[in-house]
Amino acid sequence: MESIGEVPWTLRIEPGSEEDAELDRQIIRDIKAGESARRKRFDEFEAKHKDKLGNGKEGWEIYEAYFSYCEDSGSEEAQNEFRERFVKYLDRKFTGAMLLEAYAGALEREIEGRLDPINIKERLKIKRLEREAKKKWWQVWK
């Protein structure tokens, strides 16, 4: 485990032991403590994980795991600083695809929300008309 000074910085998405939980609390305290302690933490994270952040999904998971420390600290300044400093290292293709997928899902939900006011009778009528449009002329006149 690498460390700067006496403060180690390791990746744990979910704490397992009490030692891990205590280390998580220490990281959060350092982020809350102020600019110099936060800068040390971020420098350490950058030195250790900068190259890994560009590895698609794995990089995104590392980014999210460490960003959660900033969220847990409650410091808006820390969150902004973390984003500004580390977003540039993420895989742009993966991030773009992820955002596009999220946008498509939101768009689908919006469309479904607009279709809900159409009642069941109207939907059945639309489906019947679509089926009739597919019939040949001699099938319609029977």
* Model pLDDT for residues 57-97, shown as the tens digit of each residue: 888 888 888 899 899 988 899 999 999 998 888 888 888 88
C-alpha–C-alpha distance, residues 66 and 48, integer Å: 12
C-alpha–C-alpha distance, residues 60 and 102, integer Å: 15
Cβ–Cβ < 8 Å for 78, 40: no
pLDDT confidence tier of residue 141, bands split at 50, 70 and 90: low
C-alpha–C-alpha distance, residues 94 and 107, integer Å: 20
pLDDT tens track for 91-137: 888 888 888 888 888 887 777 767 656 677 787 888 888 887 777 66
Q: Is the pLDDT of residue 4 over 50?
A: no
Helices then strands, counting H and E runs in the chain, come out as 7, 2
Confidence at residue 138, expressed as pLDDT on a 0 to 100 scale: 65
Cβ–Cβ < 8 Å for 80, 39: no
- Label the pairing between strands 7-8 and 3-4: antiparallel
Q: For the full predicted model, state whether its pTM sits above 0.85.
A: no
